[in-house]
Structure formats: C-alpha cells, structure tokens
Amino acid sequence: MLNTDPNLPDPDEAYARLIAAHDGLSEAESHAMNARLVLILMNHIGDRTVLDEALRLAREGAGS
Amino acid sequence: MTDRGTDQYRQVFRLYPYAKLPDQQSALPVRHPVVVVGAGPVGLAVALDLSRQGVPVLLLDEAEGPGIGSRALCFAKRTLEICDRLGAAEAMVAKGVEWNLGKVFHDDRLLYEFNLLPESGHAFPAFINLQQPWFEKFLHDAIRAAQADGAPIRIRGRNRVEAVTPAGDHVSVEISTPDGPYHVEADWLIACDGARSPVRHMLGLGFEGRVFEDNFLIADVRMKGDFPTERWFWFEPHFKSGDSALLHRQPDDIWRIDFQLGWNIDRDKELEPANIRARVDAMLGPDVEYELDWCSIYTFQCRRMEKFRHDRVIFAGDSAHQLSPFGARGANSGIQDADNLCWKLKLVLEGVAPDTLLDSYEAERIQAADENILHSTRSTDFITPKSPVSRLFRNAVLDLAEQLPFARGMVNSGRLSTPCIHDGSALNGPDHSAMPRRSRPGSPCPDAPVEAGWLLRQLGPGFTLMTIDAEAPETLSAHGLTVARLALTARGNEALRERYLGKAASAVYLIRPDRHIAARWKSFDESAIGAALARAIARE
C-alpha cells in the first residue's frame, strides 16, 4: 500500500535538496533529470499496486 | 508490412511451375477437402502439416515460387520445433545464422551489450536469421519429400484465386490460370494469402487496427569483411537516419540494415542507390566495402481480423493479423497458427471432433495475436515515442541503461517472439499445483534432453500421454482417438525434472498434437484422462 502519511524526518530539508539537485540545469535538463528520478524510484518501489496508486494520485493532482 | 519496393514479385526460386491439369477441363467442379490459398510460409506449413497427416490438400499460388519482397528474417525456436515436426528444420538451421551478442547504441554511445545465453537443453537455438525465400524453399523441399512418401498434396503455381463464394456445405472457388479460368469446390478453405489478403477482400471482411506513421528503408548489403555476427541497434543514431537503425547478419555474407526514415519522405529519392549508399556509408564508416543486394521502403500496421473463422473459410498468418517487424512476430506467429489449426481440422474432417473444435483455433490464435500486437505496439512506441513526454522518458531509460541494469530491462528494441501460453483455453483440463508453471495446461511443451534424444522428437503425430516416473498402459483409446504413451524418468535428468516435475514425485501429461499441454496429473487416472481428452477435442 502506498504510504501517504508524513514519512520524511525533515520535510523542509528534503524539499530543499530536491530543488538544489536541479541547480544550474536548463529546463530541458531538469525535465530529463526528473524523468530519470521517477524511473529510479519506480524501480525501488517495484510493487505494482503501490505504483498504480501513486500514478493515480499524481494524475488527480493534475486536475483530470 | 506494406512493401513499396518495385521488385517484390521478382522470383527467387521457381518451385512450382504452372502445369495444365485435368481439373481445369472438368465439366463439374472437382471437390477438394481442403484448399489452401497462398504458398507463403504459412500456406506451405498448413499444406505440409495436413498432408503428412493424410488429409488431401490443394495449395494454390499466383506465382511459381517465393518472391524477393520485404520479408521475414528471424525464425524463433518454437517455429523451428514446429518445422522439425514437419521435417524441414535441419536444413533451416544448417543454412541459418545464429547470434548471441547484441549491442545497443544511443547516438554514438554504446550503452551496453547483452548475451542471449539461451537456456541449455533444447534441440534448437533461441532463433536463427534466414531469408524468407530459403525458409519457404526448405518447407517446399519437405513437401516434395512428403509427396514421395505418398502424402496427398498438390501445389499449383500461377493459379490465382479470383472469387470465393461460401455455399452451405462447401466453398466455391474460381481460379484463373494461363489457360483460362476454372472452378473447384472446397470443404474447407484456408486463406494464407498475406496482409493484403484478396480472400478477405472478396468476402468483404474488415481488418482493423493502428497504422504507424513511419517509413522504414531496408537495405540488404553484401559484405566480405570481418564484420562481427552481432545485432547492433541504434536509438537516434549519430549517422542521422531517423529514430532508429538496425544491423544484423543473414546467410551468404548478406547483412540486413533497417533505417527508420519518418513519415514525410520522398520515397523515390530515398530509393536512389546514391542516397542509400550515403546512409550505409555513414553507418558502417568510410572504409567498409559492400554491394547493395536489395532495397525497399515499407510502412507497417498492427491490426487483426475480428474473427479468424468465417464458417468454412479460415484465415491464418498475415491475412488474419498484421504486426510491426519488431520482435519478429509475423512469420513466427503464422507458423504457430498453422500448427494450431491443422490437427483440429484433421479431426473435424475425420468426424472425430465436432466443428466447434475450430472455434478454439480462433480463440487461441486471437489470444496469441493480441499478445503479439501488444508487444509489437510497445516496442514501436519505445523506438518511436509518440509525444514529447514519451520521448523524455524513453531517453531517460537510455541514459540510465548505460550504468543501471534495471533500466536495460526497459529498453525495448523488439521483444523476441515466444509462443503464447493458452491460459483459460476451453480445451485445457486439470492442472497440478506442485508442477512448474512453465508447463501448465495451455503451454507449449518445453524441450528437454531425454535418453532417446530430444523430448519433442519422441512425441508422435497424435495425442501423447507422457508419464514421468508414473505407471500407465502403453496405449489408451477413447472418443475415437488412440493415445500413445511416452514413458520417461526424471532420475538423473535435472532438465526434465525442472521443466515438468517441479516438487511432484511423478507426473502424467496429456499432450496435444501441436505439443501444447492439455492437462496434467500426478498419476494415471483413466476416467480423468478420458474426460480431459474429450475436452481437448471440444466433445465436452
């Protein structure tokens, strides 16, 4: 099951690290990095039902 | 594939020259149990399979041998196993090229290499590369050998089917020849007449699916150099020939090169030898000497007929389903259609099985076609991303694949054709949970080494009762069929144990004539086997 409870020990710091990881990249490079990140995290999760739930949640956030 | 070359009808071998026959002057149309239309790989396999089982077949083709056209190249293990049953595989393997090493490039970077390392303990390799005209010639050679042994098969070249009219208990067929038209009647007509199937058009039947807006240039080049026997695949190649390119070897020092050209191209310009040579030079480098052997441009589509059986007219191969070339699924799935159909048609013609058995051909082969179309479409969408975000993720996969093995599993330049497992088929009987999943009912029998040679070669032409460390009578008769026993032991045979026994101490397998597993038990039970046999021939 997808964990949507708060799970990051320091959310402010985690967020800042995500943004910092994109420092100095063009928009296209950032998109490419995000795509690689998604693939790496997908593989780590592995479980199909968890991924389906995450995809659904993310899609709902896009307003459709 | 829609071939747009100009020389697709140029003949490679003249195998079945036209000859005038008494049928053509007969006042009344001659009735044939089975008429097969189209002597491509599928039509040849259907005709060969049926006639080897004693069913008289008339095979019609508008030409006198295989044309050169844009053609199948990779023949997978299951196809070779089927052709071995038909007596044609040894010549194919002897002529064909085997490869194990593949390289995947993105632009000018080598991302990774892979070695197929096929599972050991099989008579045949994972696949071979062999030009389609040779594949057809070897099937034709097997037909001539079968004829010499009395198999009732007739092939008529330059006999073009002009009209097909269903007529209740038969199908009326109008044929044109150099000596004018004639009629025959068929109890059953098998349409193996290719993706543009004239028979399908004559019956006004649809062929729905998805058109891929792309053009592929195929160049067969002859090279004498020491180019390695490897498959090289480029995504977004540095030599700027579209989204992808592929290089692999065929027999006789011929190499197949595919360039993906995109949709809006000037076809005539692309086919000019100087322009083709410019692309090939850029791919191979300036110092490689070669000759252009044959070139063509094709587009492709993924689609299938809604039904493969239309009463007494049955469609098999490309006439029923058309695929992209990625994964070599066209001819391979067509040969499996033939394999699935022939034993069923024979039992129906003999009155042993009801004609509803042929509905299972449709159900099982539509399942396979849908599986093939799914794989084929996924490969195409990976190779040619259809949206900016799809391209973004595709390139992210390629970037990661250089370092991370998990991403290599997502790189899809075509998934090699593997046979469909007919889970849920109406013909399947009981399963046994202690036995391996790979040999569950509906699966094609995995080959294995056995004392007498290879397992698949021990299976007879009919149903087989294969016992592994289990007792059973030598033959079993039920429902008009005689089932022969094949007695094996897994002692000292790890491949057989791993492929068929699993955790079970013994096993009894009921195997169909197409070497798919119908049912399995731990021990012999005559009434259970009788019931499974009835189910496997649609008599339940």
CB < 8 Å from A in window 407-436 of B: 407, 410
CA distance B323 to chain A (A): 28
Q: Is residue A1 part of a domain?
A: no
CATH of domain B210-302: 3.30.9.10
State the pLDDT confidence band at B1, using cuts at 50, 70 and 90: very low
Query: In B389-401, which positions are buried (b, 16+ CB within 10 angstroms) versus exposed (e)?
Result: eeebbbbbbbbbb
Is residue B4 scored above 70 in pLDDT? no
pLDDT of residue B3: 41
Residue B126 per-residue DSSP state: S
Q: Which residues contact B70 (CB under 8 A, 6 or more apart)?
A: B1, B3, B5, B8, B218, B296, B298
- Residue A16 domain-assigned (yes or no): no
Q: Does residue A13 belong to any structural domain of this protein?
A: no
pLDDT at B10: 66
Q: Do A38 and B396 touch (CB under 8 A)?
A: yes
Fold equal for B2-95+128-208+303-355 and B210-302? no
| Average pLDDT over chain B, rounded to an integer | 93
Bridge partners of B303? B209, B322
Tens of pLDDT, residue by residue over B408-439, are 999 998 888 889 999 999 999 999 999 999 99
- Judged by a CB distance cut-off of 8 A, whether residue B404 touches chain A is yes
Closest-approach residue (CA) in chain A for B410: A39
What is the band of B5 on the pLDDT scale with cuts at 50, 70, 90? very low
- The pLDDT of B7-28, averaged and rounded, is 81
A-B C-beta contacts closer than 8 Å? 24
Structure confidence by residue, pLDDT tens digits, B312-328: 999 999 999 998 777 78
- Residue A9, min C-alpha distance to chain B (Å): 28
Q: Binning pLDDT at 50, 70 and 90, where does residue B524 land?
A: very high
Contact assignment for B400 to A39 by CB distance below 8 Å: yes
**B83-96: pLDDT as tens digits:** 999 999 999 999 99
Pairing status of strand B231-235 against strand B244-250 = antiparallel
Q: Is A39's CB within 8 Å of B396's CB?
A: yes
The CA distance from B449 to A44, in Å, is: 39
Q: Which of A31, A36, A43 sits opposite B399 (nearest CB)?
A: A36
CB burial of residue B525 (10 Å; 0-12, 13-18, 19+): middle
Question: So where are chain B's domains?
Answer: 2-95+128-208+303-355, 210-302, 437-536
In tens, the pLDDT along B249-271 reads 999 889 999 999 988 899 999 99
The per-residue pLDDT for A43 is: 98
Q: Tell me what the mean pLDDT of segment B332-350 comes to.
A: 97
- Counting DSSP H helices and E strands in chain B, the numbers are 14, 26
Give the B window 464-523 contacts with A, CB below 8 Å: none
- Chain B contact for A42 (CB, 8 A cutoff): no
Rounded mean pLDDT of chain A? Answer: 95
Residue A21: inside a domain: no
Residue A48 counted as domain residue: yes
Residue B224 confidence (pLDDT): 79
Domain residue limits at A51: 26-64
**Number of separate domains in chain A:** 1
Residues with Cβ within 8 Å of residue B437, at least 6 apart in sequence: none
| B313 backbone dihedrals φ, ψ, rounded to 5° | -110, 125
Q: A64 pLDDT exceeds 70?
A: no
Q: Which residues of B touch A43 (CB under 8 A)?
A: 406-407
Domain assignment present for A12: no
- Which among A31, A32, A39 is the nearest to B407, CB-wise? A39
pLDDT for the residue B23 = 81
CB spacing of A35 vs B407 below 8 angstroms: no
Burial class of residue B532, CB neighbours in 10 A (0-12, 13-18, 19+):
buried
- Domain for residue A4, yes or no? no
8 Å CB contact of B396 and A32: yes
What percentage of residues in chain A have a pLDDT greater than 90? 92
User: Tokens at residue B461, please?
Assistant: 């032409």
Q: What is the mean pLDDT of residues B473-493?
A: 96
State pLDDT tens for residues A36-50: 999 999 999 999 999
CATH class of B2-95+128-208+303-355: alpha beta
pLDDT confidence of residue B122 = 93
Interface confidence (ipTM) of the complex: 0.95
Q: What is the Cα–Cα distance from B186 to B299, expressed in whole angstroms? A: 35
Residue B503 CB coordination number (10 Å): 10
Between B386 and B508, name the one with better pLDDT.
B508
**Chosen from A27, A39, A42, A45 to mutate, greatest number of chain B CBs within 10 A:** A39
CB contact under 8 A, B396 and A43: no
Residues 277 to 316 of B: which have CB under 8 A from any A CB? Answer: none
Q: Is B359 on the interface with A (CB under 8 A)?
A: no
Per-residue model confidence (pLDDT) at position B185: 97
Contacts of B400 in chain A (CB under 8 A): 36, 39-40
Residue A39 domain-assigned? yes
Annotation: CATH topology of B437-536: Glutaredoxin (3.40.30)
C-alpha B440 chain-centroid distance: 22
Please answer yes or no on whether B393 and A38 come within 8 Å at the CB atom.
yes
Q: How many CA atoms lie within 13 A of B425 on its CB side?
A: 37
A29 and A35 Cβ atoms separated by less than 8 Å: no
